[in-house]
Structure 1
């Protein structure tokens, strides 16, 4: 009986701690954002870009701002890729702005340049690499599965 009581107390304590953590961790959701012309227009600013191991990325719209889609620009140095081929449940679009990209999708590759889009269906193994001699600049459009 004593052990059962201790377990019940422990479970109740964990539930309370979890609820408190959720409250303190609560982030601003898009429903709480007041959208205006000032925050809906986003001009690229290199000073606000995030440096990565292979270049940098700039979020025009992230999951904390939009209802369900994100828009990011990635810049990748020659001969590099943002990460190894991977997969995730979200579909994804890539749009090449500058440079030469190699797109990997389920075991096959294609090389293309500016004004080309690549579509990655949900759960497909995919990746993108810079196979050119200049920086690769591309947009990533992805639905945020909250």
Structure 2
């Protein structure tokens, strides 16, 4: 097969996938009835998920939102949710309480409350608790499915 034909075929497949994804998103939105009751989410510790290093609480997960997620993580002193990693989705962290050690592509910085941290797609990144109190932060991410 000629390179131009292969390229055209690949583009056609990508367009079909995007169309299918858009249709799936519209169908999902039609299935969920969004109300004031389910669009307001107040943090409740008893509804949080216990992890090895603290808790996480989903304010908006991929099963409710159309493509974005919002999670709060609470990490105990000296711990991290996982080792530095990378993924195709971009990601934001917003520090609410405590001190965070933020790793991005080989460099590290320690930051405090009211600081946002951006992770570009495919960048190696990680966050850990650099303080002696719980670290509380929000994670905002787009679900690529």
2:70 alignment counterpart: 71
1:138 alignment counterpart: 137
Structure 1: gaps spanning 5 or more residues: 1-27
Q: Give deviations 1:61-117, integer Å, cap 9, x for gaps.
A: 000000110000000000000000000000000000000000000000010000000
2:102 alignment counterpart: 103
TM-score, length basis structure 1: 0.80
Per-residue deviation at 1:30? 3.8
> Deviating runs (4+, > 3 A) in structure 1?
28-31
Q: Matches of residues 84-123 of structure 1 in structure 2 within 5 Å? A: 84-123=83-122
Structure 2: gaps spanning 5 or more residues: 1-26
Per-residue deviation at 1:130? 0.2
Q: Equivalents in 2 of 1:118, 1:111: separation in Å?
A: 11
Per-residue deviation at 1:119? 0.1
Secondary structure in 1 matching 2:33: coil
Secondary structure in 1 matching 2:92: strand
Q: Which has the larger radius of gyration?
A: 1
1:62 alignment counterpart: 61
What is the total number of aligned residue pairs between the two structures? 119
Secondary structure in 2 matching 1:139: strand
Q: Equivalents in 1 of 2:73, 2:29: separation in Å?
A: 23
Q: Equivalents in 2 of 1:30, 1:122: separation in Å?
A: 26
Q: Cα RMSD between the aligned structures?
A: 1.1
Q: Equivalents in 2 of 1:54, 1:128: separation in Å?
A: 12
Tell me if structure 2 keeps the 8 A contact 1:30–1:64.
no
